[in-house]
Structure 1
Amino acid sequence: MTGGESDRFHERLRAFEGRPAATAGRGKDAVNEAMIRHWCEAMGDTSPAYTGPDAIAPPTMLQAWTMGGLSGHTDRSSAYDELLALLDDQGCTSVVATDCEQEYLRPLRPGDEVTFDAVIESVSPRKTTKLGTGHFVTTRMNVRANGEPAGIHRFRILKYAPAARPERGREARPLPERGHSGAPSRPRPVINRDNQGFWDGVREHKLLIQRCTACATPRFPWLPGCNACSSPDWDTVEASGAGTVFSYVVMHHPPFPAFTAHEDPAEAGGPYAVALVELAEGVRMISNITGVPYDKVRIGLPVQLEFLRVDDSLELPVFRGEAG
């Protein structure tokens, strides 16, 4: 498809923006204690806010109450099916869910009847990924509880034409995106209104941890409310940077030149360690381990925070291991 053809096709896709994806949807079950219990057990969440006579549902269950299950829903619009069929006709026959965003407007409680409407919010221009070439489709679902606005759920998929597989024995590494200096660029972090303050701190070489002002519980990653007492009020404390490796994995495949275990361009694309670091303040975060070879990382390894500039426009908090 030429550039002009791609632009014209994208205009056809954009004509679907604003059209309904689902109308007058109704949750198959009211918010109920059994589903809340199963969710909390699966997530290992023991917050008292989700049990007892004043229980609320975990906010991240927002989508669970709208799902159609194996039998599906009857409220899906023809516009959404037409959009997917149009992409199918252009060879974009594969689909993968990429990410979702949620906004919480009021707590859901057992007994609430959930209804929803969804709209096709946006269709991206043609994008090329490692999976293949296609378009990102974002839907926005407005969720109500007993008729009151309860939350907004945005869900994004990539509808794509699968990339050709290289011949066995002749596999070539894809060329990575590069920054202004010519060095490979890492993927950008997702920054939104809930974690903006964290990234503002990173720019000032501060690792900021949220702290509930009602019960003083620290939390990471950043969340809009306390998972211990449900208070929405919080401030921040700056981490000392001291920590230990609580758990880790070593990434071998797929190779990606923007990540390196030894901070040496000659080693770009080699294995590297990703660790769950337990900070002295009592919270855990995921980051890279630097300063020691990936095969020397161990549980209990002492680490110290540092800020690593990974390309022209991105600096990240990482942890330098103290080799024994």
Structure 2
Amino acid sequence: MSDNQEYLENLGHLEKRLKSYEGRPSAVAGVAKDPVNLPMIRHWCEAMGDTNPAYNGPDSVAPPTMLQTWTMGGLSGHTGRTQAYDELLALLDEAGCTAVVATDCEQEYVRPLRPGDEITFDAVIESVSERKTTKLGTGYFVTTRMDVRVGTDLAGTHRFRILKYAPARPREKPQAARPGPRLRPRPVVNRDNAGFWEGVRQHRLLIQRCTGCGTLRHPWLPGCATCGGPDWDTVEASGAGTVYSYVVLHHPPFPAFDPPHAVALIELAEGVRMISNVVGVPYDKVRIGLPVRLEFRTYDDELVLPVFRAGQEEVA
């Protein structure tokens, strides 16, 4: 038997063992450590900046995206956990897939959770992928599915996916490699924020405004965090603002930037905040409360970004 044939045979044996864990429970009759409660809901909403009135008061419900929060076991773990998931991870470790990264999760919401609800859950190893090669390395995607219940009622389903992989070896840089162009990173444009970037291209800084309650918001979102309304229009920022907070970046170096440089959280006159660069002053002259004014800077043939300029007389 050739080395390649032996490798393929061992790989097939490994994947058969991995597949045998599909459908096996990773938690049975798990019980949440605490019932759904207002303090945890308040902490979550404060962290997320979510002021929707549905999440406070005597008739409040928990934000749907908190679904997994109620099932977390903390440092001491939770009851009902089986050995199947640990065995699966150990098998992958033995195969050289010693690194792990969470890739994504999917949630389905069936009924709202309310303060006082007692949570139980069951979890199953839903799938183990075939061998996959990524930029991180080669390994397997493992998906677990957790069904969250209140009594006998299904409240929601949480799918969680990880990649267990063998890290790829770093590639050696060609000795005669020439430095590439010093291009600024491109913004991620999607269906929710495309209008903002189209406005920037036209040298207009557009702020979303909920047509239901009038709340302004930035960054752009598909719905209003205050009233939950999906409809919106825009207002154009006046361009006036102040530095609300800032950091000075020294590391890591990046070819498109010359560290150290300041990155600031700008509070616009309209009341919303956005992250940008402060120009016109040295990085060590940026201060909280510094008045700034919007301008648009063209970095190359494709990229226009909003930045904020402080005059020298304002920082002298």
Aligned to 2:233, which of 236, 239, 263? 236
CA distance in 1 between counterparts of 2:196 and 2:164 reads 36
Asked if structure 2 preserves the Cα contact closer than 8 Å seen for 1:20 and 1:77, the reply is no
How far the C-alpha of 1:50 sits from its partner, in A, is 2.7
Alignment of 1:256 onto 2:254: yes
Please name the residue that 2:185 is paired with.
Answer: 186
Please name the residue that 2:117 is paired with.
Answer: 112
Asked if structure 1 preserves the Cα contact closer than 8 Å seen for 2:205 and 2:306, the reply is no
Q: Percent identity?
A: 49
Alignment of 1:89 onto 2:99: no
Aligned to 1:323, which of 296, 311, 316? 311
Larger radius of gyration: 2
How far the C-alpha of 1:283 sits from its partner, in A, is 1.5
CA distance in 2 between counterparts of 1:25 and 1:207 reads 52
Please name the residue that 1:211 is paired with.
Answer: 209
Aligned to 2:284, which of 282, 285, 295? 295
The number of aligned residues is 291
CA distance in 2 between counterparts of 1:317 and 1:42 reads 28
How far the C-alpha of 1:303 sits from its partner, in A, is 3.6
CA distance in 2 between counterparts of 1:232 and 1:157 reads 34
Asked if structure 1 preserves the Cα contact closer than 8 Å seen for 2:122 and 2:146, the reply is yes
Deviation digits for residues 223-273 of structure 1, max 9, x if unmatched? 4543333x233313144262332111112122232x41xxxxxx4xx3332
Please name the residue that 2:37 is paired with.
Answer: 32
1:37–1:197 Cα change, 3 Å: closer
1:33–1:128 Cα change, 3 Å: same
With normalisation by structure 2, the TM-score equals: 0.66
What's the secondary structure of 2:242's corresponding residue? Answer: strand
Asked if structure 1 preserves the Cα contact closer than 8 Å seen for 2:211 and 2:233, the reply is no
Asked if structure 1 preserves the Cα contact closer than 8 Å seen for 2:28 and 2:81, the reply is no
With normalisation by structure 1, the TM-score equals: 0.65
What stretches of structure 1 of length at least 5 have no aligned partner? 166-171, 261-266
Deviation digits for residues 60-92 of structure 1, max 9, x if unmatched? 422211212233245556664354234322444
Please name the residue that 1:263 is paired with.
Answer: none
Aligned to 2:192, which of 197, 200, 215? 197
Amino acid in the other structure paired with 1:271: P
How far the C-alpha of 1:46 sits from its partner, in A, is 6.1
User: What RMSD over aligned residues (CA atoms) do the two structures have, in Å?
Assistant: 4.7
Please name the residue that 2:296 is paired with.
Answer: 306
CA distance in 2 between counterparts of 1:291 and 1:57 reads 46
Amino acid in the other structure paired with 1:306: F
Please name the residue that 1:169 is paired with.
Answer: none
